Structure 1
Amino acid sequence: MIATLASSFLPVHDPAAAAAWYRDRFGLEGTDVQEHAAVLRDRDGRLLTLMGPVSGIPVRPGLAWAPVSFRVEDVAAFREDLLRSGSPCSPVQGDPGTCLFVTAADPDGNTVLVVDR
C-alpha cells in the first residue's frame, strides 16, 4: 500500500486571520475557512489545516520547530519579502549545493521553514 499525505496541521489562534497570512505570503488558497479550522491548498493540491482553539486540539500556537516547509525559487528574495511584510525570519542558511533555507515566524509564533529545493 502506498499512502499520500492528506494534510499538515498547525495550531493557530484565529484560523481566518492565519489563513489570510498564509494566502498572502505563500499563495495558498483557502478552501474551507471556519471558526474552528481553515483548510488551505497549494497549487499541487497539498493541504495545510490551521486548527484554532475551538477545534479542541490540545496544542498551543507558537511551535518552536517547523512542522511545515515551503519551497520557493529564490530563498533570499523571499526572505526580503518576509522582512518587508514585518515577518521575523532568520538569515539565509545552508549550502547552495544542497539546500538554502530560512526560518520564519507566522503571526501565531509558529516556526515555518522556507527552502529552495
Structure 2
Amino acid sequence: MCHVQDLCHNEFVLVQLPTASAPRVGTAFLPVADPAAAALWYADTFGFETVSVNEWSANLAGGRPGATLTLMGPDSGIQAEPGLPFSTHNFNVDDVEATRRLAAAGLEPTPIEGDPDTCLYFTVRDPDGNILLICDR
C-alpha cells in the first residue's frame, strides 16, 4: 500500500501496488579450463552431483534444492578466464573444519577466520585458480 496524491481532487488516496517476489539466484558460474575435469574435482571435493557435462560446460547440483553450479569452459563463450581473483559466491558447509581439511589435500586454504557466533570462513583456490569462499552459514 502507498499513498498517492489525486491531483484532480487534491487529496491522497490509498492504492494497492502489485507485489513482486524477489528473484532467486539460479546458478553460480565459474570459468574453468576443462568442464569434465572440474566437475570431477567438485564432486570429489565437495560432494556435488554432476547433472550434465559437455564440451561447453558442466552443471552440478548440491545442497539446497535448486542450488546449482555451472562450470563454464572456453568453448562456452564466457568472457572470464579461469583464475578469478575473487569469489563470485560462497559455499555453505555444515562443518567448516572438516571441509578445510578436505580442501587441504593438495591445496592451500587460508586459515579459518571470522566469529563462531556470526560466521566462520576460509578461502581456497580450485584447480583452475578460482577463489572459493567456504562458510559455515
The TM-score bracket by the shorter chain reads over 0.9
In terms of fraction of residues, the more helix-rich structure is: 1
Provide the rounded CA distance (Å) in 2 between the counterparts of 1:41 and 1:102.
Answer: 22
Shift of 1:109: 0.2
Alignment RMSD: 1.1
Alignment of 1:30-109 (within 5 A): 30-43=50-63, 44-83=65-104, 85-109=105-129
Aligned partner (choices 19, 22, 25) of residue 45 of structure 2: 25
Structure 1 residue ranges, 4+ long, deviating more than 3 angstroms after superposition: none
Structure 2 portions without partners, runs of 5+: 1-19
TM-score normalised to structure 2 length: 0.80
State the secondary structure of the residue aligned to 1:97: coil
Question: What amino acid sits opposite 1:47 in the alignment?
Answer: T
Paired positions, count: 116
Structure 1 portions without partners, runs of 5+: none
1:12-65: CA deviation from partner (whole Å, max 9, x where unpaired): 000001001111111111111011100101142311100000111111000111
Provide the rounded CA distance (Å) in 1 between the counterparts of 2:103 and 2:72.
Answer: 23
State the secondary structure of the residue aligned to 1:80: helix
| Corresponding residue of 1:6 | 26
| More displaced stretch, 99-108 vs 61-70 | 61-70
Question: What amino acid sits opposite 2:42 in the alignment?
Answer: Y
TM-score normalised to structure 1 length: 0.93
Q: Conserved in 1, the CA contact under 8 Å of 2:36 and 2:58?
A: yes
